[in-house]
Amino acid sequence: MLTESQVIAAVCRFLKKNGFRVTQHLSETQHGRDIVAISLNGTQEITIEAKGETSSMAHTRRYGKPFNSGQVEDHVAKALYCAARDASLDMLAGVAFPKNTAHVKCVQKILPALKKLCIEVFWVRSDKSVEVEHVWKTWGTACMRQPLPKRGDK
């Protein structure tokens, strides 16, 4: 069972291997953007909101147990909100989840919207390897997306 911190750590390793410098990574007890990174050439800043599949706090009822479908839906909704907020600021935005049945089922329902918003999905497997949905145009070099029109632009 992956905690949020484990998902964050796995995605940070993946980003470093793919040409990004991680400038911020938080734990589940900290508030703010879970992951902030920049391309090595300094042209692309990205933010990622991450969620785990169990609580990391031993005093909670969900510690060591998978989140139920309602909790997964709430987590996905919160991650989508954070990513959409950052995408509206012309940042490359992403969400990161454990690759399990509940998260995949939930995200598949909104994947078309994530693609329209150019929000990347990072899946962390139980072995802590990472795969992406390839929403961003390229990987391995600078990830490019068309900037959103400024207010008043058509």
Mean pLDDT in order along the chain per 10 residues (154 residues): 94 93 91 91 88 76 78 95 92 95 97 92 97 75 44 44
pLDDT of residue 44: 80
Q: How many residues does the chain have?
A: 154
Question: What's the one-letter identity of residue 53?
Answer: E
- DSSP H/E element including 56: none
pLDDT of residue 13: 97
Six token digits for residue 117: 């918003």
Bridging pattern class, strands 130-132 and 20-25: unpaired
pLDDT of residue 63: 66
pLDDT of residue 40: 76
Choose among 5, 43, 33, 6: nearest CA to 127: 6
Spatial CB neighbours of 110, under 8 Å, sequence gap ≥ 6: 76, 80
Mean pLDDT rounded to a whole number for the chain: 85
Domains along the chain with CATH numbers: 4-132 (3.40.1350)
pLDDT of residue 90: 81
Spatial CB neighbours of 41, under 8 Å, sequence gap ≥ 6: 142
Q: pTM (2 decimals)?
A: 0.85
Strand order in the sheet with 119-124: 20-25, 35-39, 45-50, 92-98, 119-124, 130-132
